Structure 1
Amino acid sequence: MRVLLLYSNQSRELVPAPPIGLSYVATATRAAGHEVRLLDLAFADDLPGELGRAIDSFVPEVVGLSIRNIDNVIQQRFDSPLQALQEQVALIRRKARTADGRPVPLVLGGPAISILAEAALPLFGADHAVVGEGEETFPALLAAIARERPPAHIPGVCYWRDGLPVRNPAQLIAGFAQSGMADWIDWRHYEHAGGTWPIQTKRGCPLSCVYCAYPLVEGRRFRQRDAGEVVDEIARVLRDVGPRTFEFVDSTFNLPARHAIAICEEILRRGLKANFTAMGINPLDVPAELFPLMKRAGFNSMMITPEAACEAMLDNLGKGFTMQHVERCCERARNSGLKSMWFFMLGGPGETMATCEESIRFAETRLTGWQFTSVFFTGIRILPGTTLARLAVERGYLAAGTDLAHGHFYLSPEIDEATVLARIHEAVTRNPSIVQAAEGGTSATQHALYRVLRLLRVAPPYWRFLPAMLGFPPLRFLRSRYPSVVAGKPLTALYET
């Protein structure tokens, strides 16, 4: 079958995200004997036009649409691709037709679809959806479509039955290898935008964070790749593509720490010269040798996800570690010399003004200097299927049956949003490396800095230079005196939204 796989994520909240998940599916679908085209529209200036032309030239028999994000998960400047995606679906339905004029089957997939599950079918008007990993499920679904049989026994498929959307339970694959992404995308676009090449070393997460949907997407059991196989993939991509930086995109790169250590040791053993970063460092398991070893292996930065800096909220959010772990992680990060971006979420169940103060004070006083950037979210996105969604209903915060495909956020009734936002701004005046997610996306000043860094062939991620930029005296003064310069609207307007 001719299968068109579409990736249209144009979000620029931090850096452009390449389609690693869809590349895994494309590689598996091609191996199953299908003719596959992956259409990457992440940088398209005329997305509808390019999509329409691709459909006309390729004449697909099945279209798969990968949806990465439900929205940007920021309450104060909420943004959702829902309408744009529905317009893309309408275009696909209008243009992609069988010989007798019927719309070809449309299959949805991606992280957002794994969260929405069967609710995605009526939302987008699709025929099928794949929940969880698609490497085995999608080819099996294509076989069922070709034989005109219902997918009633294919794990992880959502479909229509008697006019209602239903879901088959998902089944995790035994293992996975390299993504094959180099076969499917033009890396030059991502390189120019400061992107990093994604590498996945494991799937699954056994943690119980109340807000997190990762276990819904990848399961609750770690499935780890052999360190040698991971480094084989890095060496191959380095030779064939040559990205400036590789990013380990596991939900928690360092859990368990011995797996991360084995990968770093294998990189060093082979003498591989490359730059690395990691999007998920969990404070739970940070042995003394981890960060120094990462730095020796070529890491230039890492993202660290405590989400809170007080015992009560670490417990309420189900983080599975304590402030002792957070303090130790902070100290070891500072000693390593690696640059790190720390993430905090205020407003979860049981949050009070006192607990907000503890977390803000930690970032204000401990995460200082050129090594650290702190990002604060106020209000937590309630995702379907999470413990937070259940708690929101049990505590009367949301009505049962609320459609969580549309933006709903948990903000503890014990805090005042305006006061919290003002307190974070006060912390910014004392520690300029603190950022409110509400402030806005990448600024014009950041874009200018990033252009210079690209011209100088500096390895990304470029967010690691934010502390130096934000500490620049003129910009520091403007952020301190005029919050709207960064936020895009007056602080009083933020309070009213």
Structure 2
Amino acid sequence: MNVLLLSTNRNTLPMPVMPIGACLVAEAAQRAGHQVRLLDLMFLADPLGAVESAIRDFRPEAVGLSVRNIDNNDMGDPVFYLDELRRIVSTIRGCCEAPIILGGAALGVMPEAMLRLVPATCAVVGDGETVFPELLGRLARGEAIADLPGVALVEDGGFRRTPPDLTRFSPRCPSPDYRRWLDLGAYRRQLATVPIQTKTGCQFRCVYCTYPGIEGSSCNLKDPESVADAVARLAASGLRDIEIVDSVFNAPLDHAMEICAALARGSAAARLQCLELNPRHFNDELLGAMEQAGFRGMGITLESAADPVLAGLNKGFTSREVHRAAEAVRRHRIPCAWIFLFGGPGETEQTVLETLRFAKTQIRPGDIAFFNTGIRVYPGTELETIARRQGVLSRPAAEMLEPTFYLSPQVDARWIRQQLKQALADHMNFIDMGSLSLPFLPSLHRIGAGIGLRPPLWRYTRFIRRGLRLAGMDV
């Protein structure tokens, strides 16, 4: 079959993300014998025109759409991405009658609501590398698809979803030929990193998280030597800035240590980073191994430094481990981004102030603290149950595709904004969601790339903020 794949993500803030999933699926479909074209909409001035031209030139017999996010997870300024998805699907339907197949991380979150919003043949909710080629084969042969593992569809008004086949996990670390599918120059001019995964699934049970529904609740580990080989191949091809995008990199800890050891043996040319570290599995031995492996940046996802909120979010660690993590960071040289999320269950004015006090006193001036307020609520999560029990959520689950947020009823959003505004004014290494949505960020990335800066750009936050202030910009 002629198969057209569309990577629909066009969000370039804070920086564009290379679509690893779409590239892997494209290669899997190609290996299965199909003629595949991948159209990445990220940087296109006229995406709908490009879609129409691709359909008329390529004449696809199936069209797959990779959908990364439903919205921007910003309670203060929510942006709903699926309106654009509907326009893309409408453009496709105006040009051809080929089956439309939805896929990507967003489909694992709310497949029924998305299929009812966007008219499509079906959605892939299992491993795309496995399911998509099999789905194409059935479509080519005119066979039924409703019983294929990892597929969801709306049929005769009813929603049907078959569970994915979790027995077909491969320990090989996938590394697609990005040059074959993407405009790498455009991504590199924006200081984008190359994503890889060392595992899928997540063993934690944070109340807001959708990862268990997308990738499973147990970890499927990639072979460390395979990870090192993938990194080495990317670095040898000139793609040296590589980001590990696991849900949590350092759990299980022994696997992370094995990954670091394999990387240290074979990929010194790579510049690595990972923004998903957990303080529960965090120590000097890990940081030393990461330094040897070539990490140039890391992030610790705390959400809070106050025990009532950590317990309310079911984070699996305490403030004692948070402080121990800060002590360990200070003993090492890897730049660190600390990630906080205000407003979770148990949040009060006292816990907000406790978290801010931690950020002000424990975070190195050369590191950054990122703050967001309000938590996106998805159906089926424990946070939905909590919000309904507290009476702060009344919207039916079927309508929660539109951005829906939780904020602890014990704290006021305006008060949090005031506290954050003062903290950002006093600390040049603090940023918030507003900082990540500044329209001139792409220009900053291009300037940074032009003068030889390398990711992560957040290492230079305090200098950038001071410079913008001197230019009269209050950011």
Q: What TM-score, normalized by structure 2, do the two folds share?
A: 0.94
TM-superposed CA distance for 1:132, in Å, is 3.3
TM-superposed CA distance for 1:184, in Å, is 2.0
SS in 1 for 2:70: coil
On the 8 A contact 2:235/2:269 being kept in 1, the answer is no
The answer to whether the aligner puts 1:189 opposite 2:186 as a matched pair is yes
Change (3 A) 1:409 1:272: same
Give me the whole-angstrom Cα distance separating, in 2, the residues matched to 1:57 and 1:461: 39
The answer to whether the aligner puts 1:297 opposite 2:275 as a matched pair is no
SS in 1 for 2:110: helix
Which amino acid letter does the alignment assign opposite residue 149 of structure 1? Answer: E
The answer to whether the aligner puts 1:245 opposite 2:233 as a matched pair is no
The alignment of Structure 1 onto Structure 2 pairs a total of residues equal to: 471
Which amino acid letter does the alignment assign opposite residue 89 of structure 1? Answer: V
On the 8 A contact 1:244/1:459 being kept in 2, the answer is no
Q: Name the residue aligned to 1:268.
A: 264
1:63-74 to structure 2, matched below 5 A, reads: 63-74=63-74
User: After TM superposition, which residue ranges in structure 1, 4 or more long, deviate above 4 angstroms?
Assistant: 446-449, 476-479
The answer to whether the aligner puts 1:279 opposite 2:275 as a matched pair is yes
User: Tell me, which stretches of 5 or more residues in structure 2 are unaligned?
Assistant: none
Give me the whole-angstrom Cα distance separating, in 1, the residues matched to 2:54 and 2:391: 48
Cα deviation, 1:33-87, whole Å, max 9, x if unaligned, reads 2111111121111111111111111110000001101111011111121211110
TM-superposed CA distance for 1:400, in Å, is 6.1
On the 8 A contact 1:311/1:323 being kept in 2, the answer is yes
TM-superposed CA distance for 1:150, in Å, is 2.6
Q: Name the residue aligned to 2:374.
A: 379
1:217-256 to structure 2, matched below 5 A, reads: 217-240=214-237, 242-256=238-252
Give me the whole-angstrom Cα distance separating, in 2, the residues matched to 1:147 and 1:163: 25
Q: Name the residue aligned to 2:108.
A: 114
Cα deviation, 1:426-452, whole Å, max 9, x if unaligned, reads 1122222111214551453x5554334
Give me the whole-angstrom Cα distance separating, in 1, the residues matched to 2:264 and 2:370: 32
Aligned alpha-carbon RMSD (Å)? 1.9
On the 8 A contact 1:114/1:217 being kept in 2, the answer is yes
TM-superposed CA distance for 1:199, in Å, is 1.2
TM-superposed CA distance for 1:137, in Å, is 1.4
Q: Name the residue aligned to 1:56.
A: 56
Cα deviation, 1:255-279, whole Å, max 9, x if unaligned, reads 1222222222222223632211112
Cα deviation, 1:6-43, whole Å, max 9, x if unaligned, reads 00211122221111011221122122221111111211
User: Tell me, which stretches of 5 or more residues in structure 1 are unaligned?
Assistant: 98-102, 480-484, 487-497
Q: Name the residue aligned to 1:429.
A: 425
- Identify the match of residue 325 of structure 1 among 297, 308, 321: 321
SS in 1 for 2:36: strand
- Identify the match of residue 353 of structure 1 among 339, 346, 349: 349
Q: Name the residue aligned to 1:461.
A: 456
Q: Name the residue aligned to 1:451.
A: 446
The answer to whether the aligner puts 1:470 opposite 2:462 as a matched pair is no
On the 8 A contact 1:77/1:440 being kept in 2, the answer is no
- Identify the match of residue 360 of structure 2 among 345, 349, 364: 364
Change (3 A) 1:252 1:93: same
1:164-203 to structure 2, matched below 5 A, reads: 164-172=158-166, 173-175=168-170, 176-182=172-178, 183-203=180-200
TM-superposed CA distance for 1:374, in Å, is 1.0
TM-superposed CA distance for 1:476, in Å, is 7.7
The answer to whether the aligner puts 1:89 opposite 2:92 as a matched pair is no
Q: Percent identity?
A: 38
TM-superposed CA distance for 1:327, in Å, is 0.9
Change (3 A) 1:137 1:251: same
Q: Name the residue aligned to 2:207.
A: 210
Q: Name the residue aligned to 2:142.
A: 148
SS in 2 for 1:451: helix
TM-superposed CA distance for 1:248, in Å, is 0.6
Q: What TM-score, normalized by structure 1, do the two folds share?
A: 0.90
Which amino acid letter does the alignment assign opposite residue 76 of structure 1? Answer: G
TM-superposed CA distance for 1:454, in Å, is 1.1
The answer to whether the aligner puts 1:4 opposite 2:1 as a matched pair is no
Cα deviation, 1:151-177, whole Å, max 9, x if unaligned, reads 222112111222223212233332253
Q: Name the residue aligned to 2:390.
A: 395
Which amino acid letter does the alignment assign opposite residue 262 of structure 1? Answer: E
On the 8 A contact 1:377/1:436 being kept in 2, the answer is yes
The answer to whether the aligner puts 1:104 opposite 2:98 as a matched pair is yes
Give me the whole-angstrom Cα distance separating, in 2, the residues matched to 1:333 and 1:368: 9
Q: Name the residue aligned to 1:482.
A: none
On the 8 A contact 2:146/2:160 being kept in 1, the answer is no
SS in 2 for 1:336: coil
SS in 2 for 1:289: helix
Which amino acid letter does the alignment assign opposite residue 152 of structure 1? Answer: A
SS in 2 for 1:206: coil
Give me the whole-angstrom Cα distance separating, in 2, the residues matched to 1:284 and 1:127: 43
SS in 2 for 1:135: helix
On the 8 A contact 1:119/1:165 being kept in 2, the answer is no
Q: Which moved more, 1:76-85 or 1:256-265?
A: 256-265
